[in-house]
């Protein structure tokens, strides 16, 4: 492993599984110049003790959970104050990078930037539950084009990257802007990628860079869905519905994504209202999210407890 001193990793946590976080930080520390852990109001004191035992970690403990986007922006702002930092590596708490991931991303970013405007580069990631590499995606209508790393390409141009594992320069963030804090959690990375693309930048997946990542919540077997579906709590369903409709209204959102996402919205609404308990709470939160999105309001979810 070789350290890239001008890269600061920004790790967002909320009640993390400390064993996974420890593995992540142990793998990140030899690869980057700085690590900023932004904690979204976890109540467990063991996280502070854990970070105190790791002197390479700067802990930024937020007093309230204002969402993923706000936490990422706070970490980026902290990274700007650190000497020599020119890029940030965005990380979720449940992602573990390969030992050479950062070096691979930096090399690809430098190569690609010599030929055009690059917004961000991201790793090939493996969903630890599926035990398979996820493809990079180009948004098409009616179906997306899924691009797999097959040995023929070293970098793949794509239309969006998940935030975890993304390497972004501070200069690009100055131009495109940070994450939209009003979105709180869902579609934060998608909105940023759409803004970057609208500003003339390109996004690339880097096949040689690897990241293990757990996507979403637990899966549940549902008749007609052999692989099951990812199940989310009602409050999360609120954000999923609200934020996708908020994105529909934005000028930088590609119309082809809107056209193909509306059927997904309908399917999710029916599934979680009819087949996935707690059905009534799910429906209540999803309808509230749709109403807020249609009204253009980034309001918090209803109390369903």
Query: Which band of pLDDT confidence, cut at 50, 70 and 90, is reported for residue 249?
Result: very high
* Alpha helices per DSSP H over 129-218: 170-176, 188-198
Cβ within 8 Å of residue 67, ≥6 positions away:
40, 181, 183, 184, 185, 188
- Between CA 41 and CA 181 the distance in angstroms is 16
Tell if the pTM clears 0.85, that is, is over it. Answer: yes
Q: Is the pLDDT of residue 176 over 90?
A: yes
**High-pLDDT (> 70) share of the chain, %:** 98
Indicate if the pLDDT at residue 215 is higher than 70. Answer: no
- How does the average pLDDT of the chain come out, rounded? 93
| Residues 196-207, mean pLDDT to the nearest whole number | 98
Q: Is the pLDDT of residue 3 over 90?
A: no
Mean pLDDT value of segment 143-157: 90
In the chain, the percentage of residues whose pLDDT exceeds 90 is: 79
Average pLDDT over residues 82-110: 97
> In the predicted model, what is the mean pLDDT of residues 23-43?
94
User: Residue 115's pLDDT is what?
Assistant: 95
Across the range 223-248, mean pLDDT stands at 91
Residue 144 confidence (pLDDT) above 80: yes
Fold held by 4-93+102-213: Spore Coat Polysaccharide Biosynthesis Protein SpsA; Chain A (3.90.550)
pLDDT reading at 128 higher than 60: yes
Every domain of the chain with CATH number 3.90.550.60 lies at 4-93+102-213
H helices, E strands: number in the chain: 9, 14
pLDDT score recorded for residue 238? 98
Q: According to the model, what pLDDT value does residue 217 have?
A: 64
């Amino acid at each position: 492993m070789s350290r890239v001193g001008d890269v600061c990793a920004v790790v967002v946590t909320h009640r993390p599984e400390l064993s996974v976080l420890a593995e992540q930080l142990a793998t990140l520390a030899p690869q980057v110049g700085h690590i900023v852990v932004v904690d979204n109001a976890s109540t467990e004191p063991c996280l502070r003790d854990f970070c105190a035992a790791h002197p390479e970690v700067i802990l930024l403990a937020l007093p309230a959970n204002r969402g993923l986007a706000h936490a990422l922006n706070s970490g980026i702002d902290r990274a700007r104050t650190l000497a020599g930092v020119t890029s940030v590596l965005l990380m979720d708490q449940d992602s573990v990078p390969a030992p050479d991931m950062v070096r691979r991303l930096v090399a690809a970013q430098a190569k690609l930037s010599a030929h055009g405007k690059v917004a961000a580069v991201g790793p090939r990631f493996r969903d630890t539950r599926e035990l398979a590499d996820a493809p990079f995606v180009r948004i098409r209508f009616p179906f997306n084009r899924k691009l797999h790393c097959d040995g023929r390409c070293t970098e793949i141009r794509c239309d969006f990257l998940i935030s975890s594992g993304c390497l972004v320069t501070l200069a690009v963030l100055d131009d495109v802007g940070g994450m939209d804090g009003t979105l709180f959690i869902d579609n934060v990375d998608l909105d940023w990628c759409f803004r970057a693309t609208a500003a003339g930048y390109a996004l690339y997946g880097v096949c040689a860079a690897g990241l293990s990542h757990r996507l979403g919540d637990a899966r549940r077997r549902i008749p007609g869905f052999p692989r099951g579906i990812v199940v989310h709590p009602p409050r999360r369903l609120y954000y999923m519905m609200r934020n996708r409709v908020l994105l529909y209204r934005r000028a930088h959102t590609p119309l082809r994504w809107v056209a193909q996402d509306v059927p997904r919205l309908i399917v999710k609404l029916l599934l979680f209202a009819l087949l996935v308990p707690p059905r009534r709470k799910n429906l209540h939160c999803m309808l509230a999210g749709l109403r807020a999105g249609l009204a253009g309001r980034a309001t918090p979810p209803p109390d369903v407890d």
